[in-house]
Amino acid sequence: MAISEGNLDKPKIQVDNLCLWYGSFQALKSINACFRDRIITAIIGPSGCGKSTLLRVFNRMNDLVEGVRTSGKVLIEDISISDNNIDLVSLRKKVGMVFQRPNPFPLSIYENIVFGPRIHGSMNKSELDEIVEESLKSVLLWDELKSKLDNPALSLSLEQKQRLCIARLIAVKSDILLMDEPCSALDPYATARIEELMRELKNRYTIIIVTHNMQQAARISDEAGFMLLGELIEFGATENIFTRPTNKLTEDYITGRYG
């Protein structure tokens, strides 16, 4: 692969001393972490520990919740995203997110994919056609769907819908893909296929997945962070987290003592 080592070593996202409050409740407590490009990083931890909140910091989705306050710093490619003058539309384009329940628009497959590109720039039909083909190829749906592009997206299977949601991010050229429990609505076969897709996509993207499926985190991630009650307890190579955690709390969690 023609990627320089220097490029890979530089963190894509750097989090320094990040705290977040919902009103008076502190949901994130002095988080420090680096998320690297072209690897999969998993965030694990029991329900309510702040995994989704942390993901939503990266595209400022928490701004939509009233009474949210943050302190500390989050840099994406060395740019502080908490500044008031940051362009939120470009940030959310760059940092895309998929959720537990795939949420395609009640439009055709084609219209789902061109929705974003159309908002972000005027393009002609052949440019849009090309984006649809490329995006669907990236999520390995093209052969399956190329003759059904006018079908409603809501008629797809859950797995296809989740792939379509990932394709929508690719269509607007997101390069950081946040995945919040992307497989939890899927059966084990569909889950395995989405994991396969993630492995393929990691050659081109920064992928951060939140999962409470520890086996999944162990299978697909290169680095992992364990959170508990708003704190990032341990962060490092997945292999180390799962085979020789340094913190007793991590060990207790991965061996199933709580959660």
Binding site for ligand ADP (CB under 6 A): 22, 25, 27, 45, 47-53, 65
C-beta of 18 vs 153, nearer to ligand ADP = 18
C-beta of 160 vs 211, nearer to Mg ion = 211
Q: What does 27 interact with, of ligand ADP, Mg ion, none (CB < 5 to 8 A by kind)?
A: ligand ADP
C-beta of 20 vs 131, nearer to ligand ADP = 20
Report, in Å, the least distance between residue 223 CB and ligand ADP. 18
DSSP per-residue letters across 174-218 = --EEEEESTTTTS-HHHHHHHHHHHHHHTTTSEEEEE-S-HHHHH
Determine the distance from the C-alpha atom of residue 4 to the mean position of all C-alpha atoms in its chain, rounded to a whole number.
24
C-beta of 4 vs 47, nearer to ligand ADP = 47
Q: What does 206 interact with, of ligand ADP, Mg ion, none (CB < 5 to 8 A by kind)?
A: none
123: tokens are 């393009």
Instruction: Scan for tokens 């949420």, then name that residue.
Output: 103
Q: What does 93 interact with, of Mg ion, ligand ADP, none (CB < 5 to 8 A by kind)?
A: none
The residue at minimum Cβ distance from Mg ion is: 52
Report, in Å, the least distance between residue 42 CB and ligand ADP. 13
Angstrom distance (rounded) from CA 259 to CA 257 = 7
Report, in Å, the least distance between residue 230 CB and ligand ADP. 7
Three-state DSSP class for residue 12: strand
Ranges assigned E (strand) in the chain: 11-22, 25-36, 40-44, 68-76, 79-80, 95-98, 176-180, 206-210, 223-228, 231-237
Report, in Å, the least distance between residue 25 CB and ligand ADP. 6
Please, which of residues 97-126 interact with Mg ion by CB under 5 A? none
C-beta of 52 vs 216, nearer to Mg ion = 52
Q: CB of 211 within 8 A of CB of 217?
A: yes
CA angle 182, 183, 188 (to 5 degrees): 165
Q: Which stretch binds Mg ion (CB under 5 A): 52-60, 89-97, 151-159, 230-238?
A: 52-60
* Position 52 contacts Mg ion (CB under 5 A): yes
Say how many CA atoms lie within 13 Å of 109 toward its Cβ: 24
Q: Which stretches of the chain bind Mg ion, using CB under 5 A?
A: 52
